[in-house]
Amino acid sequence: MAIIYNIPSEIKQSLATRILYNMSLPELDLQRTFFDTDVLFPRLTVAAGAERFGFFAKRILPELMKRRSDLGKMYCSDNGRPAEEPVRMMGATILQFMERMPDRQAAEACAFDLRWKLALGMKADEPAFHHTSMVKFRERLSEYGMERLGFEAVLETMREAGYLPKRTRQRLDSTHIIGVVSRMSRLECMRQSLRLALEELAQDEKLSRPAAWPVWWERYVENKIDYKSSGEIMGQKMIQSGNDAREMLGWLDGLSAGGRDGKAVRILRSVFETNFAINAAGAMEKLRARPTGAIQNPHNPDAQWSSKDTLKDKAWVGHKVQVAETVEENPRQAGEPTKSVITVIVTQNATESDKAGMAAVFKEQEQLGLAKPETLYADTAYVSGPGMAQAKSETRELMGPAMPSPDRGVYTADAFDVQVERRYAICPAGKTSTQCARLKAGETGRITYRFEWCGLCQSCGVKEACLHNGERDRMLRVNEHHTLTQARRKLMRTEEFKKDMRHRNGIEGTQSELVRGYGLRKSRYRGNNKTRLQNYFIGAACNIKRWCRRVTWEAQQAAAGGVKVEQPLAVSA
């Protein structure tokens, strides 16, 4: 390859983009030959250990072929060298997650493993692709917003096979994903952000550099910090890096927009603003703690710090995922594989709430052509008064335990019989209050109701258990959906509710299956988009293997009962 010198950086980037993306869609060859894997090795389709590959060839590959026109939008029609067949690349990527293999091993399996050739419709002597083609294919999927295509194809196939009715009962829960990121101290994060910004700016040869540039370059690019230094020295270096970042950003603010809009510069600005503040006098002050959503590592700015409890012993840096699956109507027999289908798998920022995740799940299910579940089983993080009210208005049910009333050291709201709609409340002593005020918060628009027992509490026999010291009368404040919340809290004490909530328990096993069998706990790639792509492929791989086990079990049960059925795993010639 000829080497071209003295090319401006923007032209180099343009050339790299053309080399990567200007590829043409290859011609599709559907001609069957005697060298097809299933023709040369007919017994391979039903051999032990090859069931899922034969199943993939019969059920999944034809559906992926239907999506070839969508995949073709990622390529040029008549420009560039022919790319690898996108249907094959999609199938190989799904198989890669089914078998939990890295790119290099997956490419080798396509070249040397007859089971993979069978699944992908390859000829027995057909050469495979280079493992870097899988990287470029994933980049294309992410660039064109087609991360969900493989998951959709599998879901559509299962719907046509009758495994996914339009109206279902489902269960939902979230789990955390550890990002591809190194845990950095605040000082190291600042210094790395400065280094990346300097290296990015150095690529612009036309940029006029300030007098402090050589000092910055030596301090943050050529030198490394000695972490054996004392805490006092580390604190001084943190202030120094803050002053340098402030000076650099001030210099960049005086340039044209094109000179300060680079990715590394934006990261530096965000890291500076989450570690330092400028007071009214114009002096820089170090913040005691970084706010929620602060960048933890400039090499992977999408990975955020979060914790599952206030004790911080379940903290991670990375992402979050919501997993929803169908609930089986009837209990399974011993040894019977699950018939549940993962309907959606939504990737969130680590700091987002489960209530926001539930809304994202419903939105994605709508995009997939699925109706909201008739009953959704979830835990306390998803259940709220507004959520139950919305579910009731849509003739569905949000099943799960409600949050208990805040404990003030006296009778909680659960001890009162509150009728918000009828504007009265009865206290534990049986006294009724009709003194109800409707309050609306100006900023949020949140509506609450306040009940007061003016003049009724001083002669009450249970006032010690109902009033704090210094209070003359009891005041109770509840939200507009308190009636639903109160009814749910009463229902939670019944055996019927506890029995029904057993349907939620299966989601814990599903998360364990995704983590242990498919590597959901750790992201393979950097960034939200690539992590989202990974999770869709994990969901597709899990659904395929579940479906294969179910079909195999049903065939075995039919054979044991003397019923002659079509072999579900054979590939038709």
| Cβ(170)–Cβ(341) below 8 Å | no
Measure Cα distances from 85 to 22, 29, 75, 107, 195 in Å: 15, 10, 11, 14, 40
C-alpha dihedral (48, 53, 59, 65), degrees to nearest 10: -160
Closest CA to 20 of 61, 81, 71: 81
| CA 420 – CA 374 distance, rounded (Å) | 27
| CA 373 – CA 572 distance, rounded (Å) | 36
Measure Cα distances from 556 to 47, 335, 552, 560 in Å: 15, 12, 6, 6
Are residues 393 and 504 located together in one domain of the fold?
yes
**Number of domains observed in the structure of the chain:** 4
Are residues 246 and 214 located together in one domain of the fold?
yes
Are residues 41 and 170 located together in one domain of the fold?
no
| Cβ(540)–Cβ(520) below 8 Å | no
| CA 513 – CA 523 distance, rounded (Å) | 16
Are residues 255 and 115 located together in one domain of the fold?
no
Closest CA to 121 of 39, 43, 180: 39
Tell whether 256 is covered by a domain: yes
Domain of 336, CATH number, reads 3.30.420.10
SS3 call for 370: coil
| CA 26 – CA 239 distance, rounded (Å) | 57
Are residues 248 and 117 located together in one domain of the fold?
no
Tell whether 9 is covered by a domain: no
| Cβ(39)–Cβ(114) below 8 Å | no
Tell whether 294 is covered by a domain: no
Query: Which residue has 């040369």 as its token pair?
Result: 40
Which one of 255, 286, 317 terminates a domain? Answer: 286
| Cβ(324)–Cβ(344) below 8 Å | yes
pLDDT at 255: 79
Are residues 367 and 422 located together in one domain of the fold?
no
Domain residue limits at 458? 413-482
Tell whether 561 is covered by a domain: no
Are residues 366 and 421 located together in one domain of the fold?
no
Are residues 26 and 109 located together in one domain of the fold?
yes
Tell whether 552 is covered by a domain: no
Are residues 176 and 192 located together in one domain of the fold?
no
Are residues 472 and 342 located together in one domain of the fold?
no
Are residues 207 and 176 located together in one domain of the fold?
no
| CA 390 – CA 382 distance, rounded (Å) | 13
pLDDT at 537: 97
| CA 400 – CA 123 distance, rounded (Å) | 52
Burial state string for 343-370 with b = 16 or more CB within 10 A and e = fewer than 16: bbbbbbbbebebeebbebbbebbeebeb
pTM greater than 0.75: yes
Are residues 224 and 342 located together in one domain of the fold?
no
Query: Which long-range contacts (C-beta less than 8 Å, at least 24 apart) are formed by 392-400?
Result: 392/484, 396/372, 399/375, 399/500, 399/501, 399/503, 399/504, 400/501, 400/504
pLDDT at 18: 46
Tell whether 81 is covered by a domain: yes
Tell whether 375 is covered by a domain: yes
- As averages over each run of 10 residues, the pLDDT of the chain (573 residues) reads 42 44 74 72 76 92 93 84 90 96 95 92 89 94 93 94 88 94 90 94 86 92 86 91 92 73 90 91 87 90 83 80 92 88 95 94 93 94 92 93 84 88 89 89 84 86 84 87 90 94 94 95 93 96 95 86 54 38
pLDDT at 570: 44
Tell whether 547 is covered by a domain: no
pLDDT at 8: 47
Closest CA to 271 of 234, 288, 296: 296
